[in-house]
Chains A and B, each alone.
Chain A
């Protein structure tokens, strides 16, 4: 068996994990503030095509990434307006965002269908480290966004659990009445983190598009990564560091079908390999929600509930 291909799969798993971590971290910040944004898939798609178009016309991936993040924040602000200010049903609003986002992305992407972007984000060079067998290509041939993302996840854990604003964020998700009594604006905190979360998702979507210099192919570009990211947040028990492990695992599952195809392992029908990541996510989700599972302890207690001061 060709070992190179397995190394490549692992390296790609980290690449994919970057998208997953950014998207899931966005969802995590949003949910920690008590807002449920199911629109991740729509945000990923729209930011992917926006970043593609921006990078294509400006010739700079960094412009692309910035535009993608801004588009993510803009879409999230729609959700924030509906969910926080107008107190709409957050689940339906998130779904609307998915439908709107995928329609918009495909509409904008029509002229770009099948095209690839010229510039890509270069992997960093670590000199001799890159040449270490097996580990070198996996760990030391990624680009700055991948390393930055892993650092960001760790930094987020510190922010959430060790700083004052982090405490306020968690409190807003758990017990908004107390935050309100402290004289802080629940609405403002929720809007802020919903938009920040959207920007992270947008960054994830754009990076997913630009890092692999992939062609734009409508829904195939993200193929449900947004939904896996949402399940990942549950999987990680709303803890940023545990997100990393889950993301690498899911990233590996998502890449595995391609590896097996390349290895010409055909005794498993390819359709069943394609469903693997979704099946793994589903099983993990069910296992974690069984009674006695410690995972749900991290769940923000007023997730999805609008805060209404008058009624308390």
Chain B
């Protein structure tokens, strides 16, 4: 049996402007709708759940500042994913690079903190964290640029290894990173000079503005510099890049290291910010994985990542509070993230193609 019509995909030569904003919006709505089905099927109230999430995540002043605070690290991991994705390099180990960034930041805060003033110390923690993230992606970057080893699987496997490393330093008795005199294993708080104070009575730190500025800077780098142009050429046409004498191997290395550094930086913002110590709790938060969704939703546009980062942060904050106020599982937030990404991907087809149903006879002619 054959269908009486078939679906035709016509490549659009130009994407209408309205679709670029419309598609992400519709995908968020569609994901919320899909989430509603699961909520109803499991017996939770849809309206209450969503209105609570919205209220706690974006509309209340407490919720909004919490959201901006959390978005700091999420924008970092979003930038990490996007920086690699734009060159068709799929660094999905941002999660692990974040752990090592946190480890590096904690080391700097503990070892150097007592000797240096805050003005020098906070940037040092951030830089050491970024270096840690870059170091963690070095092997995948090296083998990817040399042998073409899939960076997808290698960065991901290293995330599991990074989690073990972090656990090791928190759980080992007498570890440099472990709080002494406490039986429960937890990280030692870094020196005061390595920590920032939150703005007012919020849970937001000044690092938020630094990271937003960084996102805008990267936007400029990619659009306006020779380095950004090189990335564009390699991703659009590796062959053309090769004939033009672009060293793809070196650029691959650079892009991946920068990507890792961005996630590492995100880990370090947790040290100067809300955590202030190496904390195994970060292993359950999935900030690095969220970055992939944020980058994909922003279609690797660094300025748009600020928006999608804040949006996602709101979803998380709202979802987390849900667990406390009602009995709805916290994971609805993660599920919605995945669903939004799936719908955004589907929507991408409508952006790129004009999709029409055509009668079979029309095709035959």
Contact = CB atoms under 8 A, between A and B. Distances in A.
Interface of A: 38, 42, 78, 81-82, 85-89, 91-93, 95-104, 106-108, 110, 223-224, 227-228, 230-231, 234, 269, 271-272, 274-275, 278-279, 281-282, 285-286, 289-291, 308
B147 A286 contact: yes
A289 B147 contact: yes
Contacts of A282: 139, 154, 157-158, 161
B38 A104 contact: yes
Contacts of A291: 147
B345 A278 contact: no
Given A87-B352, A103-B331, A227-B160, 16 more contacts: A86-B346, A96-B342, A97-B342, A99-B293, A99-B341, A100-B337, A102-B338, A106-B329, A110-B329, A227-B156, A230-B153, A271-B167, A274-B167, A275-B160, A282-B139, A282-B157
12 contacts: A87-B349, A88-B348, A88-B349, A92-B292, A95-B292, A98-B289, A100-B339, A108-B42, A110-B331, A227-B157, A228-B157, A278-B158
Contact of A102 (B92, B158, B334, B345): B334
A283 B158 CA distance: 11
B148 A103 contact: no
A100 B157 CA distance: 20
Contacts of A78: 342
B242 interface: no
A53 to B, nearest CB: 11
A95 B171 CA distance: 31
A257 to B, nearest CB: 10
A231 B286 CA distance: 22
B156 to A, nearest CB: 5
Given A100-B339, A290-B147, A106 B331 contact: yes
A278 to B, nearest CB: 4
A104 B296 CA distance: 20
A92 B337 CA distance: 13
B58 to A, nearest CB: 20
B332 interface: yes
Interface string B114-148: 00000000000000000000000001000100011
Contact of B168 (A88, A269, A286): A269
Contacts of A290: 147
A308 B9 CA distance: 9
Given A92-B341, A96-B342, A104-B335, A289 B157 contact: no
Interface in B171-203: 171-172
Nearest to B289: A99
